[in-house]
Amino acid sequence: MSQRPSVIRQTIVTPIVLIVALLIMAALSYQFGSRAFNRTVVEMFINIMVVVGLYVFVGNSGLLSFGHISFMCLGAYMTAWLTIPPVMKSITLKGLPAWLLHTQLPMWVATPISGIFAALFALIVGRVIMRLSGIAASIATFGLLGVINNVYSNWDSVTGGQGSIVGIPPTMNVWTGWIGGAVAIAIAYLYSISRSGLALRATRDEAVAASASGIDIVRERLIAFVVSAFIIGLAGALYAHFLSIVNPGAFYLRTTFITLSMLVVGGMYSLSGAVSGVVAISVLIELFRDLEKGISLGGHTVGLPNGVQEIAIGIITIVILMYLPTGLTRNREFSWRRWPLQRRLPRPVQTALKELH
């Protein structure tokens, strides 16, 4: 055996553990869950895709992005344009170009196209945004969210404006949801062990040293931005097929916040953190949804007022940031070697990490 086992052999356990865990959840809910519960699980899988996509950019680059939900919006509308039957499109979306008006693709074709569309868009805007310094780039992504929302809620003839577009084939079930989540995790894993992912993490941890070693920060950030946009574009397309309607309000501040807080709660800098954050927050949301609906106590229904859910998630996020800034997983990855969650590191690295925290 060589001195250094390959990166894949050292780290392949993480994505496998995650994907198998999700498979177990999918199987359990398919077998035992009610219809409503299955829908919740599908929604969770889609959120996993979004948050894993966010992790590809935020986790590897250390830059915060508030704009990634706009890629979800792009993906969702693209798949709506491609899959709604032409008869319906010609009534509601008159402004579409003729070739788009007359095509109808199956979901399996439309979804990757939507992802590629989002990635292309990210490539164009990313070239500008990635040139900015860290904080300015984050603010600019927030501007991107505003622009996309502005355009999609006002371009009535193509996007249906503020209202919803209906008629997207509802083709999602837990298995397609699981496949989506698994694809997202696989792409994110492959990216993070790639040369570019390694280089980007180097710029995150020590920008000056990284650029002195010949890493082009702007280029590596752009690659991650495009990859993450692709994943989130896919997620948006699946989300459209899940709800079978799209409207621009679904891709704005609330979703941005919920997905970011999922990432933060789990641990921003690790793939396992991204996935476990989604699971944790989804459970919380479901819990509060039930509480808001009310529990019957001796004939009376006692419920929390609507909106407690969001306030609680906001407060939990702040508290986690204060006391556990590295999230539930402490930014570590799941692996077999030492449960719980401790990756085996050489001694000096462990000591250094201890001093750091």
Partner 1 sequence: MRELLQIIFDALSLGSLYALGALGIALIFGVMRLVNFAHGDFIAFCVFAMLWPSIDAAAVVFAGQLPFYLLIPLLLLTGAALSILSEIVVFRRFRNANPATMMIASFALGFVIRHLLLMLFSSRPKSITLWPSLGLPVEFLGAHIPMLQVVTIIITLAVLVILVLFLKRTRYGLEMRAAADNFTMARMLGVRANGVILLAFAISGMLAAAIGLILATNSGTADIGMGANVMLIAFIATVIGGLGSIPGAVAAGFLIGAASVVFQATLPHDARVFRDAFVYGAVIVVLLVRPQGLFAPKSAKQRV
Rounded Cα distance, 213 and 284, in Å: 44
Indicate whether 154 belongs to the interface with partner 1 (CB under 8 A).
yes
- Counting residues that bind partner 1 (by CB under 8 A) gives 45
Closest CA to 119 of 184, 182, 157, 71: 71
Question: From the CB of 314, what's the least distance to partner 1, in Å?
Answer: 4
Select from 42, 140, 246, 281 the one that contacts partner 1 (CB under 8 A): 140
Cis status, amide bond into 340, omega within 30 of 0: yes
Per the CB < 8 A criterion, the answer to whether 178 and 24 are in contact is no
Question: From the CB of 290, what's the least distance to partner 1, in Å?
Answer: 18
Indicate whether 321 belongs to the interface with partner 1 (CB under 8 A).
yes
Per the CB < 8 A criterion, the answer to whether 257 and 89 are in contact is no
Rg (CA), the chain: 21
Decide whether 132 or 166 has the Cβ nearer to partner 1.
132
Indicate whether 95 belongs to the interface with partner 1 (CB under 8 A).
no
Indicate whether 324 belongs to the interface with partner 1 (CB under 8 A).
no
Decide whether 128 or 302 has the Cβ nearer to partner 1.
128
Indicate whether 325 belongs to the interface with partner 1 (CB under 8 A).
yes
Rounded Cα distance, 222 and 196, in Å: 10
Indicate whether 131 belongs to the interface with partner 1 (CB under 8 A).
yes
Indicate whether 307 belongs to the interface with partner 1 (CB under 8 A).
yes
Decide whether 41 or 58 has the Cβ nearer to partner 1.
58
Select from 162, 213, 306, 342 the one that contacts partner 1 (CB under 8 A): 306
Cβ neighbours for 341, distance < 8 A, ≥ 6 positions apart: 272, 329, 330, 332, 333, 334, 335
Decide whether 125 or 271 has the Cβ nearer to partner 1.
125
Q: Give the chain's end-to-end CA distance (angstroms, integer).
A: 34
Closest CA to 263 of 109, 54, 43, 73: 54
Indicate whether 287 belongs to the interface with partner 1 (CB under 8 A).
no
Rounded to 5 degrees, what angle do the CA atoms 211, 212, 213 make?
Answer: 85
Select from 90, 112, 310, 324 the one that contacts partner 1 (CB under 8 A): 310
Q: Under the rule (CB under 8 A), what is the footprint of partner 1?
A: 58, 62-64, 66, 125, 128, 131-136, 138-140, 142-143, 146-147, 150-151, 154-155, 208, 253, 257, 260-261, 264, 268, 305-308, 310-311, 313-315, 317-318, 321-322, 325
